[in-house]
Amino acid sequence: MAVEDKHISYRIYLVAVFIFLMAIAIVVKLTNIQWVEGDYYRKLAKQRTVRNFVIPANKGNIYSADGSLLATSIPNYEIRFDAKAPKTETFEKHVKALSDSLATVLDRPGGYYEKELRKARANKNRYYLIARNLSYTEYVKIKGFPLFNLGAFKGGIIVEQETVRKHPIGKIAERTIGYDRIDPATGVEVGKGIEWAFKSYLNGKDGKILKQKIAKGQWKPIRDVNEVDPIDGYDVISTIDVFIQDIAHHALLKQLEDYEADHGCVVVMETETGHVKAISNLGRAEDGSYYETTNYAIAESHEPGSTFKLVDLMAILEDKVADTSTVYDSHGGEIRYYGRAVRDSHKGGYGKVTLARGFELSSNTVMVQAVYENYKNNPSKFVNHINALGLNKTLGLHFKGEGRPYIPQPGDKHWSGTTLPWMAFGYNVSVTPMQTLTLYNAVANNGVMVKPQFVSEIKEWNKTIKKFDTEVINPRVCSPETLKKVKAVLANVVKKGTGSKLYSKDFSMSGKTGTAMVNYGNAGREGMYYASSFAGFFPADHPKYSCIVVVHKPNTARNNYYGADVAGPVFKRIAQKIFTDAPSTNKIKKLDSKIQKQESSYDKYIVEANKKINQIPDLKGMPGMDAIALLENLGLRVKVNGVGKVKKQSLQAGQNISKNTTIVLELS
């Protein structure tokens, strides 16, 4: 028995020692967790229950040159209810009044919300959805309802905000206005147009708000104030004129529909500044409708055809190897180089004509002879003229995706005997419509080539952050003598040349027609089609605007695909409508008077502001931009919804002013 007792005692000792060691291990582990790894586990716990969420900054607006909104951010609000937050007596006291108020605003039958709110409380729902996609006015109203006006902790209201980008003028100029967003499939930021190119100004700086996890996938703000307030983005003032944009868009759309064309583009540019006043890029959908697709004017580099002949004429006149009066024989409308034929569109040619007349009639045989005879022994001299005009490189626009031009250089592996003559009538070269327009605009601008510009200014309300001045690419594209002759010939194209159908005795225009075969080099000419174009400026004597129109793949069943017939009428419609309807002519005095009245009115507001008044003024009916300037002079922060005149204000007239308080204006 003694031996047995002894064995039992050993076992007890072993168990006791094991338990003791386990206790020591537990104490050591607890001590390690508390003092050594404590910070890590506390941080981990906090990360799993409390987290900073991003508050997206309000993006700046994009405005047209005339002050119209092209793109703006509209805040959308979502309101939820933490049914566990209010105390029982508080909930019972306010639930009926809250339910009635919600039913009235959200158009629900009486008693609906009381039933739903009580159900949410019974189920301990901490994230019950009240409403989503609310405007700021609706959000403010609901936030002031009984119970909800007690705040997040006592009243249980949870407010979520998101910002939606809207284009008030619809699809017009959509590709140029562009977008900047995260691709949901890849998580990569993507964008185009002004939105993308100027995102560093528009996007502002995001803020942060601390939220606590209350259920799976559900988080609510811990406090009413943000950890970091978002900083709004700046506004971008574009060069687009909504009036001209509307004219250009509908003129192009009508012609595309009439000719059942595949796609087309139009650009209107202010001659002196290079400001793009209108740009439209329309492509045909399967159902036959047209919408803004690719930015063809900037991205599509292709053989231009006869609009390129302007380069021929400028080079020849600059080098004085021929003059506008030099006579050439069109050889019955066909001439051959290395076994390949160059033909005129007019069967039988034009007989013997001067260089100027050959240009006006867009004779391929005349222009090719003039170039080939004078540069065949030194083609680099001709190509150097093209390079000097900048047509061998991109314009360096802010937008990504600018099409790359192609100008063959002597000595390249693709240079052949036919390269030079084919270049002379716009083949074997590739340029974008915007590049072509930039050249024609330089002629209109007395030889000064300026860079196309889409944005004129960056603003923070009425304060200029950055101004984009006109950028001169080339101060003199040719001599004054050459310029004078070129202008005369371009005017004659419309008066008595290929563009004679566009002529109007009441309004002068200058320009050049173009008709190019696209994909003509494919085997069997599969996929070959015509691209019709017209580039020029108006009025002819004192150009205010330059314009290019390009229409791709007009329906040849109409047996009419020439630039003068397809693209030319779009140019004429735009020019005449601007000339007859725009403020730049007969309405200029009325516009000046209106501006003076607005400035006088604005000055009056500023005088009032400078009196250091200490009460919120009545802003209803005041132009939005004037109201903003007035309020900021009074030390208030302003947020705006909409465009036009003030319809509502969040702070009532007569209320005492507190500096840096935010006031929200709703514009009509």
Q: What is the pLDDT of residues 599-627, one digit of tens each?
A: 345 344 444 444 445 788 888 877 666 67
How many C-beta neighbours within 10 Å does residue 299 have? 20
Q: Is the pLDDT of residue 93 over 60?
A: yes
Q: State pLDDT tens for residues 222-247.
A: 665 656 777 888 999 999 999 999 99
Query: What is the per-residue pLDDT for 487?
Result: 97
Structure token digits, residue 89: 């007596």
How many C-beta neighbours within 10 Å does residue 132 have? 12
Task: Cis check for the bond before 230: say yes or no (omega within 30 of 0).
Answer: no
What average pLDDT does range 476-494 have in this prediction?
97
Query: What is the per-residue pLDDT for 201?
Result: 92
User: Residue 2 — very low, low, confident or very high, per pLDDT cuts 50/70/90?
Assistant: low
Higher pLDDT, 34 or 106: 106
Backbone angles phi, psi at 253, to 5 degrees: -60, -45
* Least confident among 4-18, 431-445, 532-546, 565-579: 4-18
Query: What is the per-residue pLDDT for 17?
Result: 75
Q: State pLDDT tens for residues 40-54.
A: 656 655 555 777 777
User: Residue 643 — very low, low, confident or very high, per pLDDT cuts 50/70/90?
Assistant: low
Q: Is the pLDDT of residue 12 over 80?
A: no
Q: Is the pLDDT of residue 595 over 50?
A: no
Q: What percent of the chain has pLDDT over 70?
A: 86
What average pLDDT does range 501-520 have in this prediction?
90
Higher pLDDT, 6 or 590: 6
What average pLDDT does range 298-315 have in this prediction?
96
User: Residue 76 — very low, low, confident or very high, per pLDDT cuts 50/70/90?
Assistant: confident
Query: What is the per-residue pLDDT for 270?
Result: 97
Q: State pLDDT tens for residues 441-470.
A: 999 999 999 999 999 999 998 899 999 999
Is the pTM higher than 0.85? Answer: no
Q: What is the mean pLDDT of the chain?
A: 86
> Which residues, in sequence order, are CB contacts of 47 under 8 Å at separation 6+?
none
Query: What is the per-residue pLDDT for 218?
Result: 67
Q: What percent of the chain has pLDDT over 90?
A: 57
Nearest to 221 by CA among 296, 118, 152: 152
Structure token digits, residue 58: 């309000």
Query: What is the per-residue pLDDT for 47?
Result: 56
The identity of residue 291, as a single letter, is: Y
Query: What is the per-residue pLDDT for 46?
Result: 54
Q: Is the pLDDT of residue 172 over 90?
A: no
Listing DSSP states for 414-447 in one string gives: T--TTHHHHHHTT-S-BB-HHHHHHHHHHHHTTT
Q: Is the pLDDT of residue 540 over 60?
A: yes
Listing DSSP states for 45-64 in one string gives: HHHHHEEEEEEPPPPPPEE-
* Least confident among 450-464, 579-593, 648-662: 579-593
Q: Is the pLDDT of residue 14 over 80?
A: no
Please give the biggest Cα pair distance in the chain.
141
Q: Is the pLDDT of residue 262 over 90?
A: yes
3-state secondary structure of 157: strand
Please report, to the nearest 10 degrees, the dihedral formed by the alpha carbons of residues 323, 327, 332, 338 taken in order: -50
